[in-house]
Amino acid sequence: MLIFDEKKYAKNLLKKKEFQTYRQKDIERYILIRYLANEGMSTEEIRKELDKFPLIGCEYLDKKDVDIIYEKIIDRALSYPLVTGINTMIFKNEIDVINSVEDENARNLLFVLLVYYKWATTQQQLFFFSKHNNVKMAVTNDMDIWKYAGLMKLRVADRYRLCNQLILKGLYVEDNFKSNNYFYLPFASDAYGSGEVAICINNYDNILGELYIYNDPEHYKRCSECGVVIKKTRSPKKYCDSCAKEIKNKQNLRYYRENADLGKTQTVLSPVK
């Protein structure tokens, strides 16, 4: 499960008051714990918040056993820092390499791989330094990468075909270390490398959009609320779908509250019969 900004994800969990996945609930719980601890909550306060997201099966255990389970979960979650506020710098020479790839799907995949690689090599648990290759290698994450690259509609065989294209071009290198698959991108510059910065990513909601707006600014723009890249339309669209929905909900709530208050005032001022 790939979460680029755990703070943002945890705030959404608290807002919706439920986990967003079925199989990855443990990871979501860890993210929530790290966020709450980062906000200054004590272990007791974190535990109270976790009660709103109960563990399946704990209803059959006594309180002492449940407390032990939660204690282990909290310790495990806090063994890593909260992942948030990471800026990923993409250099112009890297974009030039990506744009040289003719196949659009392969080009999109390579860009997302670059963003993920640069982000992952800032996370201690996601990379190691390969003495054999003399480079940092990040753990592979095929399913999430394909999702961010917009390739989920393709057959799995076609997705791997795109990976093989990049391997044959010498743009993508895989290796195995301790039963895990890792990769690196030979053309990737160091995070603090020299050269002209083309893109600085701090909102990962639409990674591909960053490539699109760089290559074709005439047809793309940013959401006025969150800054995510959206496609220009004939209508004066200002917000992404998520922000538009949020703003509409706030407007509706304010309307209902104002009318409710007006109704109360009219009731009070009406003459008694």
What distance in Å separates the CA atoms of residue 195 and residue 219, rounded to the nearest whole number? 27
Q: Please give the residue range of the domain that contains residue 148.
A: 89-215
What does the pLDDT read at residue 269?
Answer: 47
Domain boundary among 197, 215, 233: 215
Task: State pLDDT tens for residues 27-38.
Answer: 999 999 999 999
Same domain, 144 and 186: yes
Distances (CA, A) of 91 to 74, 127, 173, 261: 39, 21, 20, 55
**Coil, helix or strand at residue 91:** strand
Same domain, 30 and 123: no
Give the domain CATH number at 118.
Answer: 1.10.10
Same domain, 93 and 206: yes
- Which structure tokens are listed for 32? 């929530």
Look up the pTM and report it.
Answer: 0.86
Same domain, 40 and 141: no
Per-residue pLDDT of the chain (273 residues; tens, 9 = 90+): 899 999 999 999 998 888 888 888 899 999 999 999 999 999 999 988 988 887 777 776 788 888 888 899 999 999 999 999 999 999 999 999 999 999 999 999 999 999 999 999 999 889 999 888 889 999 999 999 999 999 999 999 999 999 999 999 999 999 988 788 999 999 998 655 567 899 999 999 999 999 999 999 999 999 988 889 998 888 878 888 888 888 888 888 777 777 776 665 555 444 443
Please name the amino acid found at residue 171. L
Residues in Cβ contact with 193 at an 8 Å cutoff, skipping those fewer than 6 apart: 91
Domain boundary among 164, 186, 215: 215
Q: Helices in the chain by DSSP H: which ranges?
A: 6-16, 25-38, 43-50, 63-77, 92-99, 104-120, 142-148, 156-168, 207-215, 241-269
What does the pLDDT read at residue 266?
Answer: 56
Same domain, 170 and 103: yes
Q: Is the dihedral of CA 189, 192, 193, 197 positive or negative?
A: positive
Same domain, 99 and 201: yes
- Give the strands of the sheet with 135-139, arranged side by side: 127-130, 135-139, 180-184, 173-177
Task: State pLDDT tens for residues 23-71.
Answer: 888 999 999 999 999 999 999 999 889 888 877 777 767 888 888 888 9
Tally of CA atoms within 13 A in the half-sphere of 73 that contains its CB: 21
Rounded to 10 degrees, the C-alpha dihedral 228/232/237/240 comes to -20
